[in-house]
Structure 1
Amino acid sequence: MKIVAPKLGVRFMNLGYWPSRKPEDAKLRVFMNDIGDLQEYEPHRAHIYLYEKAMSMHPKYPDFENLEILEVSCGQGYSLEWIERWHGPAKCLIGCDKVVTRNVNNIVYGDATNLPFADESFDFVLNVEAAHLYSDYRKFLKECARVLRSGGVFCYADVRYPRDVSLINEAANAAGFETRHIEYCTDEVVVGLNHVARKYDDLLEKAPLFVKLFSKSLRATYCAPGTEANERLRSQQKIYVAAMWVKL
């Protein structure tokens, strides 16, 4: 999907999010309303909402000025551009990914379970909808703790099986993190992915034949309505969780 995405004009790879009226989304709603006209980003709104959801757990949200920030599994890096434009200027803003598809100065090649950074290099680590793909989430959490300074913040959002959430939190605590916030947001993600799916289904209709050959697997990737992946979320066989930990 990461290779196909640029050919389709897809900038973000996450399922999406749509804020509700619950109190936990209040800061996000206020911030996005303050930005105002988002016409340039309208096709990506649901994806951006998910990033904002993850970042809104940070105590300094929405102002990350002078922080040294790392996004693990940053994809094409459009999230970095968004953060720099609306949450910066950060002192340092770096993305790390195993598949680098754009020539962007602040994206480096790297494995989430073996991050290519020195100890205590960052104030803030962000990880959005990627950790379920890692070979060893415990090692990933240890790496996040290693590259964060004491008091640094790790914001995380991902789709998981319900039984995994407590195991991940225990592993985060064992890695040296203190749990500050865990939130279940499956309903908001389902609404968001419905917005995303309509856009992507339309792109698939207009895509070249070689892309259409993969339509079934692509629709499953973005959990389009009618797919088993979508039903697992709707029935909460899988759930979406957002969490924030602080390094001790």
Structure 2
Amino acid sequence: MPTTKERVTDIGYRGYKAFMNKVWYPFLTRRLNTQDVTFLNYGYEADPPLNLPLDDNDAANRYSINLYNQVASQIDLAGKKVLECSCGHGGGASYIMRTFKPAEYTGLDYNPDGIAYCNAHHKLPGLTFVHGNAEDLPFGDNTFDAIVNVEASHAYPNLSKFLSEVTRVLKPGGSLLYADFRGRPEFPVWEGALDAMPLRQVSMRVINDGVIRSLDASAQHKLDLISAQLPKWFRPFGRHFAGVPGTGIYNVIESGGAEYRIYQFIKD
């Protein structure tokens, strides 16, 4: 049974996640409501570099696209019906739709401002965006061939509820393509939730080095954006959230105090 201190800590952590979902992400969308800010992840770069073939519009988001590529390319998505839970500003949804050619791709996000952004900036046949809760998915059982979830589940108040919903809406034989990070103190709860869901783990790899290469390469662009778009008093939080070098998030990933992982799970 959890101690009083553990219960208080858990309540505080859930409150922080609720603040991020209800206040920070909508605020960020309103402040960064430009066509340039279509990704909100830390990105990835290999050594040697991936050098994915990208057009001029995509090249500015190369590192974030690299991360989506690593997640989505774990299976063949061509002709599949795909759901992305927590699609953010929709850049990953657009890239996957154009590159991997699923038959349908639905991006879901809890932030209504983010969904409005997606609908305004990403118009492709077969690509739709809906407002909804990843812990209470508004879809029927056995609906999707694949579910994509990139750098989002750490903000969910109840990871197990999300994983239960993923299991419910995936078709038999469908895959969860999943990437996220946690600090080492969170590993037992994170791994326990993943182990408890009835999906079978196919693969897992830790990509800290690739994430750090991305954060180094994209740092100046993020700093320029923060200076231009956020009020001065809010910029330190913006730098921390963006993971620029020298911030706590950057340092804990670089040191191995957290792990950024990519997984594939399958519903047998």
Task: Sort the TM-score into its range (normalised by shorter chain).
Answer: 0.7 to 0.9
Aligned to 2:206, which of 172, 179, 184? 184
Alignment CA distance shift 1:122-1:55 (3 Å): same
Structure 2: stretches of 5+ with no match in the other structure: 1-27, 120-126
2:160–2:193 CA contact under 8 A, matched in 1: yes
Task: Give the 3-state SS of the residue equivalent to 1:102 in structure 2.
Answer: helix
* Greater displacement, 141-150 / 92-101: 92-101
Aligned to 1:174, which of 191, 196, 214? 196
1:73 maps to which residue?
Answer: 86
Residue-by-residue CA offset, 1:72-131 (whole Å, 9 max, x unaligned): 00012122111111110x221101001123262711111111111111100000000000
Cα distance in structure 2, aligned partners of 1:164 and 1:220: 19
Query: Is residue 102 of structure 1 aligned with residue 117 of structure 2?
Result: yes
**Counterpart residue type for residue 260 of structure 2:** Y
1:2 maps to which residue?
Answer: 29
Structure 1: stretches of 5+ with no match in the other structure: none
1:39 maps to which residue?
Answer: 56
Query: Is residue 84 of structure 1 aligned with residue 97 of structure 2?
Result: yes
Query: Is residue 245 of structure 1 aligned with residue 265 of structure 2?
Result: yes
* TM-score normalised over the length of structure 1: 0.86
Q: In the comparison of the two structures, how many residue pairs are matched?
A: 231
Task: Give the 3-state SS of the residue equivalent to 1:6 in structure 2.
Answer: coil
**Counterpart residue type for residue 217 of structure 1:** F
Measured after TM superposition, the shift of residue 66 of structure 1 is 1.3
Cα distance in structure 1, aligned partners of 2:185 and 2:252: 14
Alignment CA distance shift 1:223-1:8 (3 Å): farther
Query: Is residue 214 of structure 1 aligned with residue 214 of structure 2?
Result: no
**Counterpart residue type for residue 5 of structure 1:** L
1:67–1:91 CA contact under 8 A, matched in 2: yes
* TM-score normalised over the length of structure 2: 0.80
Measured after TM superposition, the shift of residue 46 of structure 1 is 0.3
Alignment CA distance shift 1:69-1:115 (3 Å): same
Identity %: 29
Q: Which of the two has greater helix per residue?
A: 2
Measured after TM superposition, the shift of residue 37 of structure 1 is 4.7
1:120–1:146 CA contact under 8 A, matched in 2: yes
The within-5 A match list for 1:125-140 is 125-140=147-162
Cα distance in structure 1, aligned partners of 2:231 and 2:103: 40
RMSD: 2.0
Task: Give the 3-state SS of the residue equivalent to 1:159 in structure 2.
Answer: strand
1:231 maps to which residue?
Answer: 251
Query: Is residue 144 of structure 1 aligned with residue 166 of structure 2?
Result: yes
1:12 maps to which residue?
Answer: 39
Cα distance in structure 1, aligned partners of 2:72 and 2:99: 12
**Counterpart residue type for residue 14 of structure 1:** N
**Counterpart residue type for residue 79 of structure 2:** N
The within-5 A match list for 1:40-55 is 40-55=57-72
Alignment CA distance shift 1:93-1:8 (3 Å): closer
Task: Give the 3-state SS of the residue equivalent to 2:231 in structure 1.
Answer: helix
Cα distance in structure 1, aligned partners of 2:70 and 2:237: 27
**Counterpart residue type for residue 97 of structure 2:** E
Task: Give the 3-state SS of the residue equivalent to 1:106 in structure 2.
Answer: strand
2:226–2:239 CA contact under 8 A, matched in 1: no
